Amino acid sequence: MTEKTAITPDTHTAPPARFSHGVRKGNLLQVAGQVGFLPAVAGQPPTPAGPTLRAQTLQTLENVRSVLEAGGATWDDAMMIRVYLTDTAHFAEMNEIYNAYFEEQGLKEAPAARTTVYVGLPAGLLVEIDALAVLG
């Protein structure tokens, strides 16, 4: 059996509960739900990238990317991306931000994706994104 390896990039704080930011087993890498926190600063609590959907979505995508990279993957290895929004009114804006981000990344093929509304994020957070990647 292939060992399971927890992934926590240097830019991330230790998770607040018993989970990992990402887990790799063999050629599979699951990125846990990431939110729009700025890179970690020792001794300081996590800080949202800003109050806007744009700022939080871009930072969230970068946080997912950092877990992918720490696990040996890139966006091109992503097979599935799940986006959780806290407000149905944010769908159109998030899609614009998402499309522009991946165009800038030069993504060869778009992964499967789904977006849903989820109201259980901590106060002030507007978006959460997770990803599943297959390496090799």
Task: Report d(CA 108, CA 116) in Å as an integer.
Answer: 25
pTM: 0.95
Query: What per-residue confidence (pLDDT) applies to 43?
Result: 87
Burial of 44 from C-beta contacts in 10 A (0-12 / 13-18 / 19+)? exposed
pLDDT at residue number 120: 85
- The H-assigned helical ranges of 2-108 are 53-70, 91-105
Contact 87, 126 (CB under 8 A): yes
Q: Is 84 helix (H, G, I), strand (E, B) or coil?
A: strand
pLDDT, residue 19, reads: 86
Predicted local distance difference test score (pLDDT) of residue 1: 64
Alpha carbons 13 and 21: distance in angstroms, whole number: 9
What are 36-73's pLDDT values in tens digits? 999 998 888 889 999 999 999 999 999 999 999 999 99
Name which of 43, 40, 60 is nearest 121 in CA terms: 60
Pair of tokens at residue 3? 């060992």
pLDDT in the model for residue 45: 87
Low-confidence ranges of the chain (pLDDT < 70): 1
Alpha helices in the chain (DSSP H): 53-70, 91-105
